[in-house]
Amino acid sequence: MTRGAPEIIVVSGPSGVGKSTVVDLVLEKAPRLVRSISLTTRPARGRERDGVEYRFVSPEEFAGRRDRGELLEWAEVHGNLYGTSAEFVEKELAEGNSVLLEIDVQGGMLVKEKRPGAVTIFISPPSWEVLERRLRGRGTDGEVIIAKRLENAKKEMEFAHLYAYKVVNDDLRRCVSEVARIIETERGG
C-alpha cells in the first residue's frame, strides 16, 4: 500500500494481554484512525454497550451476514462468533480513514490473506505468569473459561511470528507509544 494512504491495521494477541486498553489509548492519539466494531454472538459483559465495544447480534443474524459475504473476516473464539463488517471497512477507507481491527489471530490471518497490505501488530504479554494473573484479575470469567482462554493463548502465541510487528505489553505507556509509532510510520507520518 502506498505510504500515506488509508490502511487496515490489525492488532491481535492473546486474551488478557491488554489489547483493548492499548487500542483505546492509541485511538486517542491518532487522527483519521477509526476502530472497527466487531460483531459478536456472545452476550455483553459488565458495562459493555451495543455499538460501542461490540455489535451484539444473534447467531442467526451473524450466519446470514457471513453467508452473504458481508464479513471481511470471521472466526469462532471461545465458543462465540466474531466478525468484521466489510462494508464498514470499505466505507471508512473510501473516506480517507485508516481502520484499526482489534481481532484474534484467526481473523488476523484472514485479513492478511485478503488484504496483503494490511499492517499487522501482535501484542504479547511479558510472561505467561503475567498473562494468567491478568486474566484472573479481570474478574469477568469463571475458572473453566479462564482455563480455556489460557489454552487458546498458547495457540495464539504461535502466530506471533506471522505478524509484521511484535510489541510486548510490559509497560502500558511504552506499549501504546510503540504501537502508535508503528501506525504513524506505516501511514507515512
pTM for this entry = 0.88
Q: Judge whether 6 and 92 are in contact, CB under 8 Å.
A: yes
The pLDDT of residue 1: 38
Specify the pLDDT at position 2. 42
According to the model, what pLDDT value does residue 188 have?
80
Cα–Cα distances in Å, from 25 out to 15, 84, 174, 176, 178?
18, 21, 11, 7, 12
pLDDT at position 3? 47
- Domain 8-186 bears CATH identifier 3.40.50.300: yes
Q: Which residues of the chain have pLDDT under 70?
A: 1-6, 139, 189
Sorted by where each begins, the domain ranges of the chain are: 8-186
| Exposure letters 128-147 (e unless 16+ CB within 10 A, then b) | eeebbebbeeeeebeeeebe
Q: What type of residue is 145?
A: I
pLDDT value at residue 5: 63
Query: Burial code of 60-71, b = ≥16 C-beta within 10 A, e = fewer?
Result: eebeebeeeebb
Contact call for residues 162 and 9 (beta carbons, < 8 A) = no
Neighbours of 116 (CB within 10 A): 8
CA–CA dist 173, 22 (Å, integer): 9
Residue 114, phi-psi category: left (phi > 0), alpha (psi -120 to 50), beta (remainder): alpha
| Half-sphere exposure (Cβ direction) of 111: Cα atoms closer than 13 Å | 34
